[in-house]
Structures are given as structure tokens and as C-alpha cells.
Amino acid sequence: MVTVMRIRRSKRFLRSFDKLPHEVRLLFADKIYQFLDVWKHPSFRTKRIKGTETVWEASLNMSIRFTFKFSKDPDGTVVCILLNIGDHDHVLRPPY
């Protein structure tokens, strides 16, 4: 059985993404497909953000991270909501 996951982007994510260098945006566009297949792949160094129950962080490379959480559509499809992207200090500041 194949699990389908949809991606949604928050307004904050879209604003932060637009500010990233072109090379980083291209890297993210390439890596998001791997993330959709195996979101806990070791290369993403995925972990839950301390003090939260639902917000996760993953690394795109050694300096760029993104935050996300999971939800479900009414039809039961899992949705990954991308919350923020950028350097460590920018991304891990509440509200994530």
C-alpha cells in the first residue's frame, strides 16, 4: 500500500522561501520529492521541536532548516504543512 501525502505551504513559509537564494530554492524543489517519500530519511535529520507536540524540523543542508506539521484532509489524506524555512535562528524562533 502506498501512502499519499499532500503538501501545503503557509504564508510564512512562502515569504521565507522567496527570500532564499536561488540555489537553495532549487535544492528544496529537488529534495521535497525525497521528503515526500521518506520524511524521516537520515539526511533530513528530522526531529520534533522541543516544547511542541506537533511541530517538526528537518535540515535541507547544514545551514538551512524547515519546519512542518501534519494534518489530515476530510478524505483522510495526510497533509504536510510547511511552516517556515531558513537558517537555524530564523526558523526555530516561535511561532515556528
- Residues 4-26: tens digit of each pLDDT: 789 999 999 999 999 999 999 99
| Preceding peptide of 95 cis, ω within 30° | yes
Neighbours of 15 (CB within 10 A): 12
User: What pTM was computed for the model?
Assistant: 0.91
Q: How many residues does the chain have?
A: 96
Tell me: the pLDDT tens digits for 72-82? 999 989 999 99
Cβ contact 51:30 at 8 Å: no
Q: 10 Å Cβ neighbour count for 86? A: 21
